[in-house]
Amino acid sequence: MSGPSLEGAPSGRAAAGARAAGDDGEALPLPAARTPGGGRGAWWTSALRAPVPVDGAPVRRIEDVLFELPADQGAPAAARRLGSELLGDWGLSEAAGGVELVLSELVTNALRHGLPSGAAVNVLSYGYGNVIRVRLLRRDGEVVCAVHDPGERVPAPREPDLMLETGRGLHLVDCFSRSWGVVLTPPCGKYVWALFG
């Protein structure tokens, strides 16, 4: 597995406090930045660092749509449905299967690992209230799906254990997307994104 690209961190390392999530929850060294496109900044990173899209209007030929979903067990299914509908509106229905699967995995990871330590899914978690932010961005033939959570742990892929029901999410994200990574959003949280097209 190639691992994530880490954007918004000086010298390819996260800002103080951010850490990779290992199998046992211990801090792991963070991966060095791997930016798609030969080292130049990806077009979506600056858009993800912006607080919210501007009324859903295209900015520099980028279409940017934000959904706020309740941070509960229904969020992955809602993300799949909304993502599929939006891709249909954009005339990209052929990409819906992979994007739906990746959205579901990223939202599930945000619910399981992205909330502050000890926080239950039904309590107010951070400045946006009890929500998971899902953004879909499109420019030319590329689509980025991104999921924001308030956590400081950066996702780290692990070898899937065939005996466990969990632990395959990032492997699936890596298999179904062209690339994936993390954009830190100071003062707290991050977007985990996946690129298609």
pLDDT tens column, 17-68? 333 444 333 333 333 333 344 334 588 888 888 766 555 554 457 899 999 9
Task: Tell which residue, 109, 130, 116, 73, has the closest CA to residue 192.
Answer: 109
Amino acid 99: pLDDT: 96
pLDDT at 157 over 70: yes
DSSP 32: P
Residues with Cβ within 8 Å of 117's Cβ and at least 6 positions away in sequence, in order, are none
pLDDT at 92 over 80: yes
CA dihedral 166, 72, 53, 65 (to 10 degrees): 70
| 139 token code pair | 């420019």
pLDDT at 112 over 60: yes
**Residue 9's pLDDT band (cuts 50, 70, 90):** very low
164-194 tens-digit pLDDT? 666 678 889 999 999 999 999 888 889 999 9
